[in-house]
Amino acid sequence: MLTCLLVAQRHSWDQGLTAAVLEDSGEEDALRVLVDDAVARQLCDGRLAELDPACSVNGAALAEFVGRVAQRAGDESLARAAARQRSWLLREAPRTADGTLCHLVGSRQVWADTVYMVVPALASAGATREALAQLEGHRARLHDRETGLWAARWDEDAGRLVDARAWGTGNGWVAAGSARAVRWLPGASGAEVAAHVRSLLEACLERRRSDGLFGAVLDDPAGPADTNVASMLAYAALTGAAEGWLPWRSGRTGESLLAAAAARVDDLGRVAGASAAPHFDRPGHAPEAQAFLLLADGAHERWREAGRRGVAST
């Protein structure tokens, strides 16, 4: 499965997910190559690995790893590259009047996907206040308190949702990104984000299908399924259970979600039935689906290891 991820063409956010997989797998040399390549392709404004200048935030999914490799290697050039990416997020990237980041250059749309791209990047760099502000700005526009789900896109100029559908992957990006950030958020801030992950997981699980998967649109039972959603939610549930900020039993749920997604791996090692790259408009294959299944599997192993250490049993 890792080979399928590595040979696929990838966008900047896929590079960030691939970096996370390589770090989880202990592939330090490959991670260093990926990080160096992300910096080689860094735009002059700081966006890492960005081959599509219309994308404002996606390269930030790499910032955490560029910064960490820089620290481990004592490499000042990498440290400066990570700092340039953070500076873009904090000062230069397009944003609304309250500072909430817009997903694209030349548009004032706020997307659920951005939560994964920027909240862990800021939290891991110690920018706690800024990370929480981004999460709150996105939640204020996209989260439906009645259903517990997130809409896909808000247009700031129109003052309304322009895609009110509860896309499965949009909710998955929020759950996974928030779960990844909890470890760096201190005290009550971390507890609050953890509570939101838990409530979002519960809202999504209410819409789980009989085959163990979720719809591409969560509240559309007649629409196609999207395998990747199960992997994204599995990663969030297993991460929280392994780190102790979700109940231990959440790991059992994550294990079930992981199994449902893993059952859709084809003979070539590709996750089938995911929203297909590059347009995400039909079932097929995508690097992000490969990565999230691998990330969920790594989180599963950490949860099992915590169990072997006797961390929890309830």
Question: pLDDT of 34-50, one tens digit each?
Answer: 999 999 999 999 999 99
Query: Residue 114, exposed/middle/buried by CB under 10 A (0-12, 13-18, 19+)?
Result: buried
pLDDT range class, residue 311, cuts 50, 70, 90: low
The pLDDT mean for the chain works out to 96
Q: Which amino acid is at 174?
A: V
Query: Residue 282, exposed/middle/buried by CB under 10 A (0-12, 13-18, 19+)?
Result: exposed
Q: What domains can be seen in the chain, in order of their start residue? A: 2-304 (1.50.10.10)
Alpha-carbon span 98 to 241, nearest angstrom = 34
Taking alpha carbons only, the member of 120, 125, 59, 138 closest to residue 92 is 59
Average pLDDT value for residue range 149-163: 98
Q: Which of 36-50, 269-283, 299-313 has the weakest average pLDDT?
A: 299-313
Alpha-carbon span 61 to 115, nearest angstrom = 10
pLDDT range class, residue 274, cuts 50, 70, 90: very high
Strand, helix or coil at 209? coil
Beta strands in the chain (DSSP E): 109-111, 153-155, 160-163, 274-275, 283-284
Note whether 258 and 230 are within 8 A (CB). Answer: yes
**Residue 220 DSSP symbol:** -
User: Model confidence over 162-213: pLDDT tens digits?
Assistant: 999 999 999 999 999 999 999 999 999 999 999 999 999 999 999 999 999 9
**215 phi/psi in degrees, rounded to 5:** -75, 155
Non-local CB neighbours of 142 within 8 Å, separated by 6+ positions: 110, 112, 150, 151, 152, 153, 154, 161
Alpha-carbon span 305 to 243, nearest angstrom = 11
User: Model confidence over 66-108: pLDDT tens digits?
Assistant: 999 999 999 999 999 999 999 999 999 999 999 999 999 999 9
Note whether 215 and 168 are within 8 A (CB). Answer: yes
Tokens of 173: 């990006």
Evaluate if residue 303 carries a pLDDT over 50.
Answer: yes
